[in-house]
Structure 1
């Protein structure tokens, strides 16, 4: 019976305790089944996944995200509301520099993106909405 050491725990185990792997010399992985399962569980932890996504997409850590949320009082600076129960604020970033600007509701973030992140367009949209609100008040009032 052939044995080999596990790369993680170091135990000398029979080859049958290692998952199959075609490209390795002995046809088995370098980690035993127990260590492979523990590694898979650790690597697919949702909080670690979120940390990796934040770092990859925006260059910030989970601590940076929480600091931004605390600084904003966990409210969206566009609409002033808190996220719904179980929801979260998303990272808004400048599309030119890539730097994060703050945390917004996903709908508020999408609205800014659809208006091309252009303050002039946003001001025209606000003026348009004000005019239509005045018209509605005249018709209904």
Structure 2
């Protein structure tokens, strides 16, 4: 490398740093700019070229090939609740588009969540987010909640005069 084609100062290697040429853009870059292919071995293309190639192919850097929102939703419904989108829509129609507990429609831009038993995985109904949180807390603390309500059904005895 001559003085005229030396890398810019910002890319100058640390004294012990190795340089490598990218197999795609042919630029010399510090070895750290090349992602690990496996422990002890770096890829032949730099991180920038690798990510650009994946974007150009339509890959999501973390998940693989891009999914449509509908496909993602169908995959999540199937994996989490063993439901199809059609079954969710049927539940929603059966409930009139409202929460099975409070009867209110979901907030704007939100959908009803799937209430299910965490122990068995059985789907119960569709609830608004608030009711789902309340049911989840009550389900986990049922005995304590029942004892509390029974103990204080007449009010707090310390406050009676």
Task: Calculate the TM-score normalised by the size of structure 2.
Answer: 0.51
**Separation in 1 of the partners of 2:97 and 2:151?**
30
Instruction: Kindly indicate which of the two structures has a greater share of residues assigned to strand.
Output: 2
Q: In the alignment, what sits opposite 2:92? A: 69
**Residues 49 and 81 of structure 1: is their aligned pair in 2 closer, same or farther, counting only changes over 3 Å?**
same
**Separation in 2 of the partners of 1:82 and 1:129?**
33
Instruction: Kindly indicate which of the two structures has a greater share of residues assigned to helix.
Output: 1
Q: How many residues align?
A: 110
Structure 2: gaps of 5 or more residues: 1-23, 25-36, 39-43, 46-52, 156-161
- Does residue 45 of structure 1 match 2:68? yes
Structure 1: gaps of 5 or more residues: 1-15, 17-21, 133-141
Instruction: Kindly provide the CA deviation profile for residues 61-100 of structure 1, in whole angstroms up to 9, marking residues without a partner as x.
Output: 1111111000100110111100122211000001222011
Q: In the alignment, what sits opposite 1:36? A: 57
**Residues 94 and 56 of structure 1: is their aligned pair in 2 closer, same or farther, counting only changes over 3 Å?**
same
Structure 1 moving runs of 4+ over 4 Å: 32-35, 39-42, 117-132
Larger RCO (CA under 8 A, 6+ residues apart) = 1
**Separation in 1 of the partners of 2:134 and 2:75?**
26
- Does residue 78 of structure 1 match 2:101? yes
**Residues 119 and 42 of structure 1: is their aligned pair in 2 closer, same or farther, counting only changes over 3 Å?**
same
**Structure with larger Rg:** 2
**Separation in 2 of the partners of 1:130 and 1:111?**
20
SS of 1:95 mapped into structure 2: coil
2:124 to 101, 105, 113: 101
Task: Calculate the TM-score normalised by the size of structure 1.
Answer: 0.57
SS of 1:97 mapped into structure 2: coil
Alignment RMSD (CA, Å): 3.9
Deviation of 1:43 after TM superposition, in Å, equals 3.0
